[in-house]
Amino acid sequence: MLLSIPLKTTRRLDIGAPLAHWVDKTHPYYRSEHCKKDLVRLTSIRNCLSESINTAHAHHAALEDRALEDCMEYHACLLEAENRGFPTMDDALVGATELRLSWNCAFAEENPIVRSNIRYERACVLFNVAALLSYKAATEDHRSSKEGRTRAMKLYGRSAATFRHLRTELMEGPSADPDPSADLTEPFLLMCESLLRAQGQICAYEAGRSRPEPMPALVSKLAAGAADLYDEALSHSQDRIVKAKCPEAASGWGGHLKAMSYLFRARAEVHASEAHRAGRQWGAEVA
């Protein structure tokens, strides 16, 4: 079974008014009237996202409502705002203290994290981009369709790369949030990244199995690669931060990752024995 990463949810908020107040009060070059239409557009996109992504598992409805495209557009707008000097840290002196951006953890029903900066908003939006890509990949026909496998592999790769970018570019460094929600901590992001890489590896494994001429040695290595990636994800899921903040996720997701690791380790052994049999290596086959 291939998993999708749950979504982060938020509530409707007029972000235009507090950002306009911050611009008039703090920004050295702009006045709010210079970017009034842009702030209205930001508020509109954000509220569309808050309505389409209303539960952690609303992937299908969100995609039907063009949430992925909205997330990408919203993130591009936030990135441009950040490049133009909008606040990237919660700072009482230069921050947008009236801006109250609230996001729920995707993996647990903990209290929402509230921040007043663009950087954390970007991180939450990127998380949802990766989560929606993971759902699109999981719904592709990776077993019986060559085209479905190809699309799924690309989507898993994009999703994993998005989590990696989120982890290394937004959640590290001097402007990183010192106390993010559990799903934005390094162990959780590493778990998601390794899981998605493992599921992409499964697509490669299915492609190897579907070849007209059997290649058991190759298929064995592909299965072993999937097992190794599941082991990586399992290790991250049992990190002390994950266990402390989301014990149910550590137990539930950890159990799935462990089972999939065992499954593909066993498949690797089976295909290796088939390769030994084809080479008349009877002793190695039995071993």
Domains, in order of start, for the chain: 16-286 (1.25.40.280)
Cα separation, 194 vs 191, in Å, equals: 5
Q: How distant is the alpha carbon of residue 98 from its chain centre?
A: 29
pLDDT(281) > 60: no
Mean pLDDT of the chain: 89
- Confidence bin at 282 (pLDDT 50/70/90): very low
The single-letter code of the amino acid at 62 is A
Residue predicted with more confidence, 147 or 278: 147
Rounded to 10 degrees, what is the CA torsion of 275, 278, 279, 281?
80
Average pLDDT over residues 57-69: 95
Q: Per-residue pLDDT for 268 more than 90? A: yes
Q: How many CB atoms lie within 10 A of CB 110?
A: 13
Query: The tokens of 231 are what?
Result: 């082991």
Q: Is the pTM of this model over 0.85?
A: yes
The amino acid at residue 13 is: L
Is it the case that residue 279 has pLDDT exceeding 70? no
Is residue 73 a contact partner of residue 81, using CB atoms and an 8 Å limit? Answer: no
* Per-residue pLDDT tens over the stretch 197-208: 999 999 999 999
